[in-house]
Structure 1
Amino acid sequence: MALTKPNQQLRRDLKEAAALLKWAGVDLYVVSKRMMVDGDEQGAMELMKIAMSFQLTEDKLVGYADDVRAGAITRAKAV
């Protein structure tokens, strides 16, 4: 089933948001590792928690994008 233009855009937007979260999480993880080396374990742990929450949200967004592709989620017309 071909996606409508609005649904194609929705899928692209979801995948883009997921990619941004992925790279932000990777960046936070790298910074947290540096903080560990510098002795700021508490701050590093907090950043790792944030990075992990980004990963969980990224996974959800990718799932939603797959649902859009399968037709289970569609973009409705604006009210």
Structure 2
Amino acid sequence: MTLTRPNQQLRRDLKDAAALLKWSGVDLFGVAKRLLAAGDDISADELMMIALSYQTMEDKLAGYADEVKAARIIRAAEQKT
């Protein structure tokens, strides 16, 4: 099934947001590792929890993008940006 232009854009936006969360989480995890090495356990733990929450949301957004592709989620009208 071919996606309409608005649904293609929605899918692309969801995938972009998921990728941004993924790489932000990777960066946060790297900072947390450096904090752990410096002995700042509390800040490192907080950053790791944030990074893990990013991963959870990334998975949800990727799932939504798959649902758009399968036409289970449809943008009703093109949104003006």
**Interval of TM-score (by shorter of Structure 1 and Structure 2):** over 0.9
Gaps of 5+ in 1: none
How far does the alpha carbon of each residue in 1:2-40 deviate from its partner, in whole angstroms, 9 at most, with x for none?
A: 000000000000000000000000000000000000000
Q: Which runs of 5+ in 2 are unaligned?
A: none
Separation in 1, partners of 2:9, 2:15:
10
Identity level (%): 64
Q: After TM superposition, give the deviation of residue 60 of structure 1 in Å.
A: 0.1
**Runs of 4+ deviating beyond 4 Å:** none
> 2: CA distance between counterparts of 1:76 and 1:29?
38
Amino acid at match of 2:18: A
**TM-score normalised to the size of structure 2?**
0.95
TM-score by length of 1: 0.97
**What is residue 44 of structure 1 aligned with on the other side?**
44
Q: Offset at 1:59? A: 0.1
